[in-house]
Amino acid sequence: MDSILSLSNVSKSYGNFPVLKGIDLDIRKGEFVAILGSNGAGKTTLVKIMSTLSSPSEGVVEISGHNVADDPASVRSMIGVISHETHLYNDLTAEENLRFFGKMYGIRGDGLEDRINELLEQVELSGRSDDRVVTFSRGMKQRLSIARSLIHEPQLLFLDEPYTGLDQHASRTFEKVLQDLDPKDTTRVMVTHDLIRTFQMCNRVVILDHGRIVFDSPMSDVGSAEELKEIYISNVKSHSSI
């Protein structure tokens, strides 16, 4: 099977408090997987573990066959994370920010300059490439942050509540950028509370409840956004966040 991300028996506890309990999950290349669950279900913890930002207390995470615990550096070059934190340097210009992150991933020379120009165009910031980020509106920072996450053409993209706090322009840009990504090249995993977008965009849905996967299905088996909502309500013990 063409698996890009595999979790075997992954658990995580904070002190004596178990947050993830024996998660087994296999994600294939090209999938766009939504992870749903109420607040506190463990979604962010799971994404942090999948994206090397946190280690599991137990279990194994593999990305493209690399064990994340043994080889975090190789794994980081394959993944990108878009969250509501922008992770930009205010004192650098838009272009300098992208150059900095590109170099961090080992991209150099004309290839890097072409990639920077292409991304600035995609996120509609070409006209502001030489301006320092400190002069940008929140929405512009969000758009630049999307470009930053994609600079190294990650094979696996994690989207952690990407719509939180996005203004309309950033939201539209984000959707356009996502649509332009070739699913063959980029597998996507998105944590969200938005059932309508989940139904429209994703081809697989995983529901997490109290640290366990309680539902995992191709979206083609879910008839409508309304049906997805019913599935969510029947699988989640506390569903205050939808």
In terms of CB distance, is 75 or 236 closer to ligand ADP? 236
The single residue listed with the structure tokens 């900095």 is 100
Which contacts (CB < 8 Å, 24+ apart) does range 179-182 have? Answer: 180/122, 181/157
Q: In degrees rounded to 5, what are phi and psi of residue 210?
A: 45, 45
Can residue 39 be called a binding residue for ligand ADP (CB under 6 A)? yes
- Which residues are within 8 A (CB) of 101 and not within 5 positions of it... i.e. 6 or more apart? 148, 151, 152
Q: CA angle, corner 122, sides to 125 and 129, nearest 5?
A: 25
The single residue listed with the structure tokens 């989940």 is 198
Can residue 217 be called a binding residue for ligand ADP (CB under 6 A)? no
Q: In degrees rounded to 5, what are phi and psi of residue 168?
A: -65, -40
Count of residues that bind ligand ADP according to CB under 6 A:
10
Which listed range, 21-29, 37-45, 56-64, 221-229, lies at the site for ligand ADP (CB under 6 A)? 37-45
Can residue 43 be called a binding residue for ligand ADP (CB under 6 A)? yes
Question: DSSP code of 132?
Answer: B
Can residue 135 be called a binding residue for ligand ADP (CB under 6 A)? no
In terms of CB distance, is 19 or 150 closer to ligand ADP? 19
- Shortest Å distance, C-beta 11 to ligand ADP: 12
Can residue 19 be called a binding residue for ligand ADP (CB under 6 A)? yes
In terms of CB distance, is 49 or 119 closer to ligand ADP? 49
Residues present in the chain in total: 242
Can residue 44 be called a binding residue for ligand ADP (CB under 6 A)? yes
- Shortest Å distance, C-beta 69 to ligand ADP: 19
d(CA 207, CA 216): 6
The beta-strand segments (E) located in 106-197 are 156-160, 187-191
Can residue 192 be called a binding residue for ligand ADP (CB under 6 A)? no
**Which SS3 state, helix, strand or coil, does residue 109 take?**
helix
Can residue 198 be called a binding residue for ligand ADP (CB under 6 A)? no
The strands making up 3-14's β-sheet, listed across from edge to edge, are 17-28, 3-14, 58-63, 66-67
In terms of CB distance, is 30 or 40 closer to ligand ADP? 40
Can residue 80 be called a binding residue for ligand ADP (CB under 6 A)? no
In terms of CB distance, is 49 or 116 closer to ligand ADP? 49
In terms of CB distance, is 47 or 88 closer to ligand ADP? 47
d(CA 4, CA 1): 9
Can residue 18 be called a binding residue for ligand ADP (CB under 6 A)? no
Can residue 35 be called a binding residue for ligand ADP (CB under 6 A)? no
Task: List contacts with ligand ADP (CB under 6 A).
Answer: 14, 19, 37, 39-45
